[in-house]
């Protein structure tokens, strides 16, 4: 059974793929933070960042369609906020548009529209940054880089095991549902179907539990003592430092003028 993987695009070879994972983590984190703190009144800094990301995507030779599909995963979260904010966020109460529906009036607030725009653009930049990061870095490199950046070890272990076993579990789930469908599960009454789902979930839980025990035994058998030791990975090269400096400079080149222009700092 084939499943798509988080980092299936990370096998492509490109200048971005070749960068050490830490370089990319630092650069994209900076980009996300900068985007989040941009004042939503402006448009050009967001356009600048989106253009920057588009250039990086081109440089990384990533295929566009899978990339957009991944972005779509964030769609429901982004859209919920973007669609609700114009109606709920009143700000100073200034109404941009009032739509009469019978005796009621639906108001769209200017402050809400502004927030919605900010949320939409900031989410898109964040989503693209994260997708670019995981599409150009294999998951194990990412984890090792995070470890060297002193990310909590336990969380990394959980992530590593999740990455390894998620699709195995998914496969088990699919086999269980297929087996129940093979016995005409869909033709049964709602009660029977619900009971079958209970059975599937229960047996999935038991299998997972058993798997956990066996994996732990296998880890102990190879000398695991509760302390995860990891490989010492490649160090940051001069190219990495240069790339990191370049990426951060690009982020700041947009961020600083944008913040200065709205803060009225020099006026």
Partner 1 sequence: MGTAIQIEGLSYSYHDGTQALNDLRLTIQEGESVGLIGPNGAGKSTFLLHLNGSISNTAGNTVMIHGLPVIRRNLKEIRRLVGIVFQDPEDQLFSPSVFEDVAFGPLNLGYSGEELHARVHRALSAVGIPGHLEHHLAHHLSFGEKRRVAIATVLAMDAQILALDEPSSNLDPEGRRTLIDLLKGLPHTKLIATHDLEMALEICERVVLLDKGRVVADGPTECLLQDADLMRSHRLEVPLSLKLGRRRLVEAGVQD
Binding of partner 1 at residue 154 (CB under 8 A)?
A: no
Torsion of CA 249, 252, 253, 257, to 10 degrees: -160
Long-range contacts (CB closer than 8 Å, 24 or more residues apart) made by 147-155: 147/230, 148/22, 148/233, 149/22, 149/25, 153/228
Q: By CB under 8 A, how many residues form the interface with partner 1?
A: 28
161 binds partner 1 (CB under 8 A): yes
CB of 240 to partner 1, least distance (A): 19
- Report the distance separating Cα 165 and Cα 209, nearest Å: 12
CA atoms of 1 and 175, how far apart (whole Å): 10
Positions in 120-149 near partner 1 (CB under 8 A): 138-140, 143
Question: Which of 98, 182, 190, 221 is in the footprint of partner 1 by CB under 8 A?
Answer: 221
Report the site for partner 1 in 11-40 (rule: CB under 8 A): none
Shortest approach of partner 1 to residue 163 CB, angstroms? 6
**195-214 positions binding partner 1, by CB under 8 A:** 211, 214
CB 144 within 8 A of CB 157: no
Residue selected from 164, 175, 178, 239 as contacting partner 1 according to rule CB under 8 A: 164
Asked if residue 215 binds partner 1 (CB under 8 A), the reply is yes
Query: CA-to-CA distance for 48 and 32, rounded, in angstroms?
Result: 13
CB of 161 to partner 1, least distance (A): 6
Cβ(109)–Cβ(90) below 8 Å: yes
- Least distance from partner 1 to the Cβ atom of residue 231, Å: 6
Q: How many CB atoms are closer than 10 A to CB 221?
A: 8
Q: Which residues bind partner 1 (CB under 8 A)?
A: 5, 138-140, 143, 160-161, 163-165, 167-168, 211, 214-215, 217-225, 229-232
């Amino acid at each position: 059974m084939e499943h798509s993987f988080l980092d299936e695009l990370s096998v492509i070879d490109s200048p971005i793929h070749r960068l050490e994972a830490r370089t990319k983590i630092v650069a994209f984190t900076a980009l996300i933070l900068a985007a989040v703190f941009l004042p939503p009144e402006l448009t050009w800094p967001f356009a600048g960042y989106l253009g920057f990301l588009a250039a990086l995507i081109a440089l990384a030779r990533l295929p566009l369609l899978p990339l957009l599909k991944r972005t779509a995963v964030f769609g429901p979260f982004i859209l919920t906020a973007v669609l609700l904010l114009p109606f709920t966020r009143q700000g100073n109460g200034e109404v941009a548009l009032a739509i009469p529906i019978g005796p009621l009036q639906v108001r769209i607030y200017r402050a809400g529209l502004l927030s919605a725009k900010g949320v939409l653009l900031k989410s898109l930049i964040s989503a693209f940054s994260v997708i670019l990061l995981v599409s150009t870095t294999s998951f194990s490199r990412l984890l090792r880089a995070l470890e060297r950046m002193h990310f909590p070890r336990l969380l990394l272990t959980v992530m590593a095991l999740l990455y390894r076993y998620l699709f195995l579990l998914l496969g088990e789930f699919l086999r269980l549902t297929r087996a129940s469908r093979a016995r005409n599960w869909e033709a049964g009454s709602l009660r029977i179907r619900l009971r079958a789902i209970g059975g599937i979930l229960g047996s999935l839980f038991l299998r997972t539990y058993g798997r956990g025990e066996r994996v732990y035994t296998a880890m102990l058998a190879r000398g695991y003592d509760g302390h995860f030791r990891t490989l010492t990975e490649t160090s940051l090269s001069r190219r990495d430092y240069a790339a990191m400096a370049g990426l951060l400079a690009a982020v700041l080149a947009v961020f600083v003028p944008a913040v200065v222009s709205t803060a009225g700092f020099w006026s």
